[in-house]
Each structure stands twice: as structure tokens, then as C-alpha cells.
A and B are shown apart, each in its own frame.
Chain A
Amino acid sequence: MNLPTLIDSLISDTVQRSLPLFGPELALCATIVLLLLARVIPVVDQIPPLVIALVGAVVALVAAIPREGMAGLAAIERQELFTGMLVYDALTVYLRLFLTAFAVLFVILSRLTGIADRQDGQDYYALVLGATIGMCIMASANHLLSLFLGVEMASVPSYVLAGIVKGRRRSSEAALKYAVYGAGAAGIMLYGVSLIAGLLGSAHIPTMAQRLVEFDVAAKLADRDYTVMVLALGGLMVGVGLAFKLSAVPFHFWCPDVFEGASAEIGGFLSVASKAAALALLVRVGIGFTEAPQHGAEPPRQPVAAAAASFATPPAIRMVAATNGDERLAQADGQAGRSSDQTIERAGSAAEGSPLSPVRTFFVSVVAAVAIITCTFGNLAAYGQKNIKRLLAYSTIAHAGYMMMPVAAAIALAGDNPAAASDAIAALLLYATIYLFMNLGAFAIVAFLRNAMQSEEIKDYAGLVSRAPMIAVAMTVILFSLVGLPPLAGFWPKLRLLQALYEAGGSLLMFALVVAAINTAISLVYYARVAKTMCIDPQPDTSRPVQLGFLPTTFVFAMALPVAILGVLPELVAPWTRDAAAGLFGV
């Protein structure tokens, strides 16, 4: 293959394949460029930055909706974009939809709370949308380079956003702290990336999984070959970067300080979008390294089933397949597509003996252990908080712990029960989706109340129910939904999560189940304390009336109402999450 043909194929791959599927990100890019140019071109400068940002975000949202509508989600086939840098599948589509929808809501919220004024509105919106692009890339990363790129693109704007309120010491301190922590974590992660990529000779995740199969971890372990240790170390180092984004213990120290220092809106941004993207990345990495590639390492042009039947099977799987050869032959002259599906299933069900099972065990144990500690720590640390943003920061840490549990369960299940594994990922997506309404709503209320009463201390919320009954009721609904109390929406993802853990079984995951269940009861105390302060405590004599405009109240209701409605009818979004996760494990 000479250079011109290479370039030709590259161009055709980019223009014909990748770019059409990269629409939302392109729309966001264009909006950012427009926002930055606005200052230079006087005509454009007349347009309020809000309008540009809002239109850009809405265009991105529309572009993110799959062409066939949400019903077509299940039919989306896995494709690799930009020569394998990114992956396009139902999960990508769902998460992009989630992130762009969040961007739209967030732009509106920023306008309502007045955090982005006329002067620096362009900068602010450019940063928000830039970070959203980074998160989209995180959600679709298929290569360690795009993984790192995504994390950094999401992080760097976040550092600035944390310090966007000028002239506030706490805010600048938060931004600096965040940046320093972030830089450290990024450095460690990059080192980890280089270790793994160096050992496996590639940075393309499916290729690496293939190499990992050839590497034969189990045999190396038996031989006491310590290159495995280097690999594990590299994996842990990448994990540090992810844990930082997830604010998982023990890399959570930045979280409460940043949340307290930054304005509440930014807290909402970091806790919802950033966390969802980081979880998606965790899923990508988890599946990428623990699933022997079913799709062939090089661009899978064929449909999944055909590819699986025709590609060079990794050694161990081939062996397993051979033992079942007779049956397979018998089925093969039936329906070809069906039999290859079953081959995949059989190969999967033999995963205990598969060369990747040590990797899987390693991943599951690390993620589950971190999740258990994170969840318990977050809930316990939230007890003593007096500042609402700090309390919500610890609450997001705890929820990150809950959300990591289904990832561990999914990877544990991936081998012998792919359908249940997809259900676990669907639980995660449902969690993230409902969490959007709960947490964005909570932070929006905090921001509106800050504007109205100049305080973010919980004790100043005393008797709020008589001053601003609507807001107090909305906050109470959201808080109890965060506890996970039916019939509010927060209950369903928790239930699905417990189901996934139960189905995965094993002593560690059963322990995680018990911990998650007990944590629900623990978390009640501090969430109820805020609700109690608002609804039960008497109003202090010194308090002034709280006036919230019509639009802020509407926004709060737009967040709280789905929490109540999805609590009764989770079916409104649950099928989408299931479709989005369905294709992940080759079912």
C-alpha cells in the first residue's frame, strides 16, 4: 500500500464514514468557533452569546438523535470511526444524546442564574461546550489516545469553569486545587497508558485485547513472569485517572473543596455530565480489555454475526469451539447467522477458561472494592456537612460509588450471561439519566437560593417551606429521590443495580449488594436532615422573604417533575437504556 492510496483511503474513511456520524461534536465545534469569533466580528457581537450557545447546543442535540428515532437505537451497529480512534454504537448514541441534552439544560440554567453575563458569556459557553465535546469523546473512546484526549478536553475547561467567578478567593482556590490534582492524575494516567501500550504494542483497545489474549496472562502468572505486574500497574495507573474523574475514593479529595468553592451550577455540571462520561469511559475500558474482540481487530466492515463467524478466533476460544465442533456443525447448516450467534455465546460461556479471565477478575475486584469504599465513605462523610454544596459533593461521591457497582457486575457477568451483563449496563444508563434530573435540579435550587438569600449554609434554609413552598417541596422530592425511595425515580436505578449485583453473584459482589442496600439507609439521615431543615424547622425571625422569578421556578419544576413521573412510569426511558446497552456484549 503506497502513500497516495493510504491517504485516499484515509480521506474516504474520514469524509464518508466518520464525519457524518460525528455530527453533534461538529455542531458543538462550530458553535465554539462562532462564540470565539463573535468578539472580533462586530455584527456577530450583537447577538447575545446565550443565543449562539443555545442554538448550537440544540442543533447538537437534534444531530444526536438517531436518524430512525429512538426506536432505531437497538438497530445501530458497531462501527469504528477515524480509523479506530472512536467507536460508534448504540451506547455512543445514547450518551451523546444524554450529554447534549444536558448541555442544553445547562445553558438555560446558566442564563437563569445569571452566572454567564454579557461580558464573559462567550468564554463561559465556549468552555461548557468544549468540555461537552471532550465528554462525548470520552463516551466513544476506542483508543488510549482518544481516551486521554477526551479526559483532558473535558478536564481543562472544567478547571477554568471552577474558577469562573472572578474576584472570589474560594473560587480561585478551588480552580487551582482542581487543576493541580487534575494535572497529577493526568500525568499518572499518561504513564499508565504508555506502559500498557508499550507492552502490548498498540493503543487501539480491541487490538490490545487481542494482544492480551496472545499474551496469555494466566500462563505468565503461572510462570511467575513479572511483566504481568507491569501490566497490572499500568492498568491501575489508568484507573487513577478515571478515579479522579469519578471522584472515587481515594482520589476524591478535590471534590468537596471544588464543589464548595465553585459556583453551584458548575457543581451540577461536574457531578452529572462529567461523571456520566467518566463512567462511560470506565465501561469502554472494562469491556475493551476483558472481552476478547468478537469483531475482529481491523475495521469490522461486516455485520457482527458474520464477522464473528469468519474472523480468526483467538486460540483459547478456538479450542473451546472445537470441543463443541459436532454440535456446531450440526447447527451450521441451519441458519448461518443464528449458529454464529450461538458460537459467540458458547465462546462466552467458556469464559472461565478464557485467557482474559484473570484480567476480568482483576478489573471486577478493583472496581467493586473501590465502589464499596467510595459509596460508604461518601455517605458517612456527608453526615457532618454544614454547607449544602459540600453535602451534595459527598452525595455525588457516594452516587459515583453506586454507579460503579453495575460496571463491576456487568464485567463479571459478561462471560456467561451476556444478556444480564447488558442489563447491568442498562441499569447504569438509567441511573445516569435519572441522576441528571435529580442532581441538576438540586444544584439549580442551590444556585437560585444563593441568588435569593446569599447563603449556601443548610441552617439558613430553615423554614423555607413557608417562604418558598414550591422550591422546598421540589427539593424535598429530589432529596428523597436521591435516597432511592419509591415511588420516586431514584429508586428504579438502585433496584436495577441491586438486581445486577445479585445476578452476578460471588462473595465480593454480594457484599457490594449488602453495602449498597445498607448505604441507602445511611444516606437517609443526611438527606432527611436537609428536608427537615426546610420543612420542619421554624423560620428564624431575621429571615427575609425569598423571591424567585417565574422562570427559575419553572426550571426547578422541569427537573423535579420528571423525578416524580419517572418514579411511577420508569418505562418512559428504561427501554431506551436497554436498547443502548444491548449490543455491548455481542448478544
Chain B
Amino acid sequence: MNLSDPIAYLSLMVFLPALGALVLAFFPRGREDAIKFTALGFTIFTFMLTLGMLMEDAGGVNFEAGAAEMQNLFSAAWIPSFGIQYLMGLDGISFPLVVLTAFLSVLAMVASWPITKHVKAYCILFLLLETGMIGVFMALDFFLFYVFWEVMLLPMYFLIGVWGGPRKEYAAIKFFLYTLVGSVLMLIAILMLYFNSDLTLLNSQQLADAGIFAVAAEGGNPQTVEQAYQAWLASDDDTARRFQEIQAETNPARRRQLHTFNILALQQMGQLENSPFSQNVWLGRSIQWWAFLLLLIGFIIKVPSVPLHTWLPDAHVEAPTPISMILAGVLLKMGGYGIIRICYPICPAAAYELAYVVCGIGVVSMVWGAFAALAQNDFKRMVAYSSVSHMGYVVLGLGVWSLGMWTAGPGGSATYNADYWKMGVTGAMYQMIAHGISSAGMFFCVGVLYDRVHHRNLNEFGGIFGRMPVYAGMAVAIFFAGLGLPGLCGFIGEVFVVLSVWKYSQLLAVVSAAVVILTAGYILWAIQRVYLGAEYRGPHGEALTPMTVREMAVAIPLVVFAIVFGVYPPSLLNYMQPSIDRQVETLAAWTERYDADREALQNTLNNDQEQVAAK
């Protein structure tokens, strides 16, 4: 196996945890520490693989900061008779999320040490979960994406259902059902897009961008795209053969389509002038309108946004601490990732039309989540609702579509100014990473207390600062990061989002800015009730021992990253910004064309009407 080959390296990143699960399956019972250490070893090694991509001279493949397009793209046949490919790649949008996933998996595994029940099964399921999570962020075949998306469900169901709290069964099946309903809707949308896709609509450059064929850029004789295209057509590749057959067909009535699940190709098709997804299907709405709606529902269940968020408080509260960290830190991000990677680029016209709906959902979630968090007495439930509120920023930032942001360009031509839109999407992405750090940290802080005193009632704490000063200091830092205090990671994302919304809708901007006050309210109030105060008022006060080294090992990295990302945003933006800019710019160019077309259409309609009136 040659690790400098993307297919080997990326596959190893995805499947190493699964391999670990397989290894663990053969461990004898009773060797629980050995099992935990092995599982930890696999998560650490996976994390090192993701970091290895940042190092130029580490061998293996590299991830280049500052490159906008898909990197390390590879494809291989997986199920050719269903047209499904094993297609993966990374860009600035997915790479930070992959690193976050691998990083949080290591921390969550360390946080799993107190688990004593069925340790072997726990570790196996945990590692399978990690494979599913990393796979979702790397898959670029819609079907592969869907399969990884579902792969996570089963381990998560059992992780909540077996190792959870008192209402674990209810919470587990609720989580499962909500997600399954969402993914079934997504499946219908996938079929709609698949059956209306047609690869033959794309030109050679677009096909190369979508990874349909590879262009050998390095080596002895660098190819041009056209050469590679011809070489591909001449090859005995099945897709190439059918591609030519269809292109050779001159009779339009008998012309068939070459369907694809390739997300990148679907994005290209969605942004074509006469997109195959723009035909009307039902109730006067186009295919992409329906597909967008179904996909959006599927993704906002995962985010989760009001009104589909009710699984989250139950699942987060009942799940064991490390699983809550994973849930809040990684799983929620998949919804946001799906929206930015799939919904917007594939269905731009529908997204344009429904931009206000998406933003509205985001703002409602922010407000609702914040008010609900204020009302909680259960510490963990409060943190869970804060996730609903914080993920609202993500949805809002992604939804911003700076309508009518026309600025007069040179020579009187109006150009579409996408700066605020870029800012919104960047803010959303930043918020995803920041929330991954802060929410995982918050859940861990709750878990540390719960492990000691076995209750989570906010009104029965107090005085923790005196009893556990180191822990309380770190906890307060993490909670402030969640609050969005300047200088900590939560601030950047929130500010970007709120600023960008101002140009889109002042009402939404005012409301979303006001939510910051509510957030400060519930977080400060919680800090006051738990950490401040004269003395501890709840049961098991004697158990409040200082933090162990293991717990420090989880908390310190989280605090460090919360500060680093708050003080020095380029550490993250260098990787994300080019890809985000590229996507927003293509979509902005698309919007320009779309608006111009609509305007032209409107003009002709008006002219027609005038002529009719004149007659």
C-alpha cells in the first residue's frame, strides 16, 4: 500500500477506526484497560493521519492551505451496476471538520475511561461511529455520503441506549427515528436528483473538476484537460463508453441520460444555465425546489433547528458524557455541512428562492434555544438547548444570500457583490468549528461534575470554585467561549454572521444580535449558580475532589483551542477561506446570470403586455 496515493491515505483515515473495531472484536473479555488503550491508540493514530496531511515532508498526501478546489480527489468503482462510486476528496470546507472529528474522537475516548459496562462493545461501537463521521465529511459520491450518514445511526443508537441515563431507551429511539425520517427524505431527494442528472451536459473542464476523469498534472508529461478528456473517451471505461454512445445519438427523442451520483458533477449541473433540475414537477415547483426542501428537512433535523430539534435535548441529556461530546461536537455539524456542500450548490435556484426561510429557521432556533436554555434546571439540558441556539447561527450564516447587493462596477455594469455573503458563510463555518470545541467542552465540564456528585440540578450546586479551582477556571473559560466573549472562539463566528445578516435583513440582524444578550444571560446565570456562591448545597459534597490528570488531558486542549481560535482566526481561516470564497463566487456568478435572465424575462413579459395593451 502506497500512502502517497490519495486513495490509500484517505481510505486509511476513514477505515482505520473500523479496522480497530475489528481488532477489538477478537480481544478476550476482561482485559478492559487493554481494550480502552487499544481503542485510544486507534483514535490517536487516526488523528495523526489527519495532521499528517498538513506536513509537507511527512510522506503520504498533503493538504495544501490556500488551494480552493477539491484536493486529493480520487474515485474507484464501488457498485458499478448501480452507478455508485467510491469517490472522496477534501477541500477547505471539509478538511477542518475532519480534523475536528478526529480530534474530538481522541478526547471523547479519553473521557470514556469511567465507562465500565460492556467496555468491549462500547469501544467497538465508538470506533465504528468514528468511521461513519469521518466518511460523511470526505464522501463526494452522494450515495457514499448517504451510506456513511446511516452508518453512524446504529452505533449511536446503542451508545445512547445501552450506556445512557435513566430515560436512555426513549432518547435513543427518538434520536434514531428523527434521523431516519430525515434520511429517508434525503433518499427521495437523492433519487430525484439522480434521475434528472445528465453527465453529457457538462463540458470537459467541468467533468475534470468533478473527478470523472483524472488529469495527470505532474510527472513526465503533464496533460491538458482536453488531452485527458480524449484519453478518457478512448479508454474502455464503462462511463466513457456510455458517454460517447449518448453523445453520438443525434435524434433528441431517443437520447438517453447518463445519470450520476457524483456530488461535484451534480453541483455543476445545478448551476448550469438550463439546469436539468429546473423542470417543473409538481404543484408548479421545480425538481430542485422539492429536492432542496427534502434535503433541508433532512439536514436541519441533524443541525437541529426548531421545530425539529426535540430529539436533541433528550439524546444529549441521556447520552453518556463522551457521546454527548461527539453528538454536540461532530454530529450536529453534519447538518450544516450537508447544507453548504449539497443543498446550496446543487439547488441554487431553490436556495435563492427559499433563502429567507432558511434564515428564518436559523433565527427562530437561536431565539427559541436561548429561551429554552434559560428555563432549564438541569445543567446538561441547558447546555443542550444552548447547542440549538448556537447552531442557529450556522443556519443563519449559510442562509444569507445578500439579495440585491449590486454595486456599480467600472463602465456602468452592475456586478454582484458577494462580500457579505462570503462573510456569512465563513462565519457559519467558523461557528461550526468553534461550537465543536466549546460545546464538547461544556458537555465535558458537566460530565466531570456529574461523575462526582451524580446530579445535574443547577439549583443544587454552588461554590465549586472553592472546591475545584482548576476545573472551575477551565470550565468558565469554555463557557465564556460558548457565550461568544471576544478573544475566545465563539466570538468570531457570531460576529461574522450577525454582520453579514445586516445587509440582508435588518430585522433578522437585530434579533440575532439580541440573542447574544440572552446567551449571556443563561450562561452567566449558570456560572453563578454552579461555580460561584459561598458553598456547595447539593448531595455528595465530599466527592468534589480536584480534577484528575486524565480529565485535564481532555479539558486543556479544548481550552487552548478555544483561546487560539479566538485570538488568531487565520489559523483556521487560512484553510477554509479559499474554498468558501470559491463556492460563494461561483454561486454569486450564478445569481448574477439568474437575476439577469429573470429581468430579461420580466422585460419581455412587460413588453408583451404593453403591446397587447396598445393593440
Contact = CB atoms under 8 A, between A and B. Distances in A.
Contacts of A495: 82, 187
A569 B84 CA distance: 11
A525 B184 contact: no
Nearest to B81: A574
Contact of A578 (B81, B157, B162, B177): B81
Interface in B145-169: 146-147, 150-151, 153-154, 157-158, 161-162, 168-169
A487 B150 contact: yes
B80 interface: yes
A575 B80 CA distance: 10
A524 B79 contact: no
Interface string A517-542: 11011001100100010011000000
A545 to B, nearest CB: 15
A486 to B, nearest CB: 4
A570 B180 contact: no
A485 B154 contact: yes
B334 to A, nearest CB: 16
B181 A532 contact: no
Contact of B162 (A499, A535, A569): A535
Contacts of B176: 524, 528
Given A485-B153, A524-B180, A528-B176, A499 B191 contact: yes
B188 A486 contact: no
B180 A502 contact: no
A545 B421 CA distance: 63
Interface string A467-482: 0000000000000100
Given A521-B177, A536-B168, A570 B82 contact: yes
Contacts of B80: 571
B262 to A, nearest CB: 17
Contact of A571 (B79, B162, B169, B188): B79
Contacts of A502: 191-192, 195
B173 interface: yes
B562 to A, nearest CB: 35
Contacts of B162: 535-536
A380 B148 CA distance: 28
Interface in A483-525: 485-487, 491-492, 495-496, 498-499, 502-503, 513-514, 517-518, 520-521, 524-525
B82 A521 contact: no
Contacts of B153: 485
Contacts of B147: 486-487, 491
Interface string B192-221: 101100000000000000000000000000
Interface residues of A, number: 30
B180 to A, nearest CB: 5
A56 to B, nearest CB: 34
B103 to A, nearest CB: 25
Given A485-B150, A486-B150, A502-B195, A520 B79 contact: no
A485 B149 CA distance: 10
Nearest to A519: B184
B184 A521 contact: yes
Contacts of B157: 528
A498 B150 contact: no
Interface residues of B, number: 31
B158 A535 contact: yes
A567 B172 CA distance: 24
B261 to A, nearest CB: 11
A525 B169 contact: no
A495 B185 CA distance: 13
B81 A524 contact: no
A487 B79 CA distance: 13
Contacts of B161: 532, 535-536
B191 A486 contact: no
Contacts of B168: 536
Contacts of A513: 188
Contact of A520 (B158, B184, B194): B184
Contacts of B79: 569-571, 574
Interface string A79-97: 0000000000000000000
Nearest to A569: B79
Given A485-B154, A486-B151, A532-B173, A496 B184 contact: no
Contacts of A570: 79, 82
Contacts of A514: 188
Nearest to A494: B187
A254 to B, nearest CB: 31
A521 B161 CA distance: 18
A569 B161 CA distance: 29
A360 B40 CA distance: 60
B204 to A, nearest CB: 28
Nearest to A426: B81
Contacts of A532: 161, 169, 172-173
A196 B201 CA distance: 50
Interface in B7-32: none
Contact of A528 (B146, B151, B173, B192): B173
B154 to A, nearest CB: 6
Nearest to A485: B150
A482 to B, nearest CB: 13
A90 to B, nearest CB: 16
Contacts of A498: 187-188, 191
Contacts of A528: 157, 173, 176
B86 to A, nearest CB: 11
B24 to A, nearest CB: 14
B173 A525 contact: yes
A289 B79 CA distance: 34
A398 to B, nearest CB: 15
A545 B263 CA distance: 51
A213 to B, nearest CB: 26
Given A486-B146, A503-B195, A574-B82, A521 B151 contact: no
Contacts of A480: 154
Interface in A528-587: 528, 532, 535-536, 569-571, 574-575, 578
A520 B188 contact: no
A492 B151 CA distance: 14
Contacts of B169: 532, 536
Interface in B42-91: 78-82
Contacts of B187: 495, 498, 517
B415 to A, nearest CB: 40
A517 B184 contact: yes
Which of B78, B157, B172, B192: most chain A Cβ within 10 A?
B157
Contacts of B158: 535-536
B83 to A, nearest CB: 10
Interface in A60-102: none
A520 B180 contact: yes
A215 B150 CA distance: 52
Contacts of B146: 486
Question: Top 8 closest A-B pairs, CB basis?
Answer: A486-B147, A486-B150, A517-B184, A536-B161, A502-B191, A521-B181, A574-B81, A521-B180
Interface of A: 480, 485-487, 491-492, 495-496, 498-499, 502-503, 513-514, 517-518, 520-521, 524-525, 528, 532, 535-536, 569-571, 574-575, 578
Given A480-B154, A520-B184, A532-B172, 20 more contacts: A485-B180, A487-B150, A487-B151, A495-B187, A498-B188, A499-B195, A502-B191, A503-B195, A517-B188, A518-B184, A524-B177, A524-B180, A532-B169, A532-B173, A535-B161, A535-B162, A536-B162, A536-B169, A571-B78, A574-B82
Interface of B: 78-82, 146-147, 150-151, 153-154, 157-158, 161-162, 168-169, 172-173, 176-177, 180-181, 184-185, 187-188, 191-192, 194-195
25 contacts: A480-B154, A485-B154, A491-B150, A495-B82, A496-B82, A498-B191, A502-B191, A502-B192, A517-B184, A517-B187, A517-B188, A520-B180, A520-B184, A521-B177, A524-B177, A528-B157, A528-B176, A532-B161, A532-B169, A532-B172, A535-B158, A536-B162, A570-B79, A574-B82, A575-B81
